[in-house]
């Protein structure tokens, strides 16, 4: 079996945002070596195959996005036997690997003993990881993602060791606790502490919005492998820029004219794969992120924010794709 090349930039899973549609588009832009799906929640039953393929339709494409980027499917749950049983079924569908979620901060998940709540008991992490590792073929990568802790980071090293001892081959660390949620800063120095006590590759995650953030994160954490999430949604060229910086090269970034056709492709996939009631909202959601970087996205968002009819959005995009590029002054007026 041919081994997957060592990744440098991974695309994070983000429930309700970084789903298969945005994974498809962002990996077409480039600069992403591997993705992780949003979590598949495991409770007390063996899920049918259609649940796995609905959340990770890349399973129909050899576990890769349209652009050929590998996707690891993520499981979330706390019962070792159920996690193992479902991991075995998932492995039979051919993902690029299986990832385990020990970091989700959502209250509904934590109330039921999943996600970041498991960081209160390192022993439970070991039991789940080791059960999954035993249940899937030896060639199938098993990785995990954790936060620094639940209410504080006092057991971060124990948790990381438990995950590594359970047989995970890689660990992503979101450098905040559950209590810290997504509030800056991220405590990258604690990732360096974790790297010192585990013998598996560690990936740094949290508050990487720019090339400068990535450079500093690498320096502080000691990690060459980074996972980016919201930063890539705001700036789809961030992965390419980070990789260029790792090589000591400059990268001009992705321009709006080159991105707009991909926005249109995103809309096409949304319209063909998602429920009509949620289609317009998904486009506006992404434009809302993009407008932090692109003034043209701000203009687009303002034009479309009250429109929910897909046909009217089709017309707007068709006109935008064929319109001459506006001047900066026109953009300021339209925004």
104 assigned to active site: yes
Coil, helix or strand at residue 180: coil
Residue 280 CB contacts under 8 Å (≥ 6 apart), including other chains: 304, 307, 308, 309, 310, 313
Q: Is the dihedral of CA 238, 241, 246, 247 positive or negative?
A: positive
User: Of the residues 35, 82, 104, 217, which is catalytic?
Assistant: 104
DSSP helix/strand/coil, 171: strand
Q: What angle do CA 298, 299, 304 make, to 5 degrees?
A: 100
Q: In 10 A of CB 210, how many CB atoms?
A: 15
DSSP 276-324: HHHHHHHHHHHHHHHTTT-HHHHHHHHHHTT---HHHHHHHHHHHHHSP
Structure-token pair, residue 122: 């390192």
Active site residues: 104
């Amino acid at each position: 079996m041919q081994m997957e090349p060592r990744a440098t930039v991974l695309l994070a899973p983000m429930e309700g945002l970084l789903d298969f549609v945005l994974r498809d588009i962002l990996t077409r832009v480039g600069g992403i070596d591997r993705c992780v799906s949003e979590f598949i929640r495991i409770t007390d039953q063996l899920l049918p195959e259609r649940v796995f393929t609905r959340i990770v339709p890349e399973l129909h494409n050899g576990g890769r996005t349209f652009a050929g980027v590998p996707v690891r499917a993520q499981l979330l749950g706390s019962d070792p036997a159920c996690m193992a049983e479902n991991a075995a079924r998932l492995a039979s569908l051919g993902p690029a690997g299986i990832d385990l979620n020990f970091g989700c901060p959502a209250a509904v998940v934590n109330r039921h003993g999943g996600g970041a709540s498991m960081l209160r008991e390192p022993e439970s992490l070991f039991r789940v990881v080791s059960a999954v590792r035993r249940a899937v073929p030896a060639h199938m990568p098993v990785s995990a993602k954790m936060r620094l802790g639940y209410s504080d980071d006092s057991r971060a090293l124990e948790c990381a060791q438990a995950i590594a001892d359970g047989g995970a081959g890689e660990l992503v660390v979101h450098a905040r606790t559950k209590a810290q949620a997504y509030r800056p800063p991220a405590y990258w120095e604690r990732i360096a502490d974790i790297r010192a006590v585990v013998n598996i590759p560690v990936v740094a995650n949290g508050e990487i919005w720019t090339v400068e953030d990535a450079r500093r994160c690498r320096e502080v954490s000691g990690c060459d492998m980074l996972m980016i999430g919201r930063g890539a949604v705001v700036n789809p060229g961030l992965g390419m820029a980070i990789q260029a910086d790792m090589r000591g090269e400059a990268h001009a970034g992705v321009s709006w004219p080159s991105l707009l056709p991909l926005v249109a492709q995103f809309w096409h996939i949304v319209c063909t794969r998602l429920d009509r009631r949620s289609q317009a909202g998904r486009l506006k959601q992404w434009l809302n992120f993009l407008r932090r970087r692109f003034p043209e996205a701000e203009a687009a968002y303002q034009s479309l924010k009250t429109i929910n009819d897909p046909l009217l959005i089709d017309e707007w995009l068709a006109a935008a794709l064929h319109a001459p590029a506006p001047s900066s002054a026109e953009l300021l007026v339209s925004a």
